Amino acid sequence: MSQLRIGIVLGSTRPGRRGEQVAKWVLEQAATRDDAAFELIDLADYDLPHLDEAIPPSAGQYAGEHTRRWAATIDSFDGFVFVTPEYNHSTSGVLKNALDYLYGEWNNKAAGFVSYGAAASGARAVEHLRLIVGELQMADVRQQVGISLYSDFEGFTTLKPIPHHEAPLSTMLDQLVSWATALRTVRSAALTAAA
């Protein structure tokens, strides 16, 4: 069986975004592990206009080349770490849009979360994402990491995470790898049944 692949989805395309530093920190921490291959998926690298597919994603019939490219990327991973900002007590519009574009490619895969924000360190964004990924038939893991703009960014601009974030991140990745491994079996059984 091929090596487990986990995508770290950078869920902001905003100019001056703090999420790029957070996602690279997650990737740096994850790269010390040998139980999966981790890769950054930057939504800024995908030209996904506001959802423009006429047929619902559950049909898997994509008209746009941008949608097919996005579907191929997501289909190639076994699980995801969603790095999300908190905007107005929720996740970013661009991340919600990226999730809405697809359906089957997300199914039976694992999801973990690293959020960042002000007062609640992005926790409310994660609560909304848990509802969304549940509808996409993803298994979200319990542990999450919340990065504070107040205590984890020097001058609100440069990420300098407090060392105590490393343990929860490691636990979240442990849970994510475990679930992603188990869900490979579920996806394999579904493919066998469909054949």
User: Is the distance from CB of 42 to CB of 82 less than 8 angstroms?
Assistant: no
* pLDDT tens digits, one per residue of 5-28: 999 999 999 999 999 999 999 999
Indicate the CATH number for domain 5-194: 3.40.50.360
* pLDDT tens digits, one per residue of 62-108: 999 999 999 999 999 999 999 999 999 999 999 999 999 999 999 99
Domain locations in the chain? 5-194
H or E segment at 144?
Answer: strand 139-148
Amino acid at 63: A
User: Is the distance from CB of 41 to CB of 72 less than 8 angstroms?
Assistant: no
What is the reported pTM?
0.96
161: region left, alpha or beta (phi > 0 left; psi from -120 to 50 alpha): beta
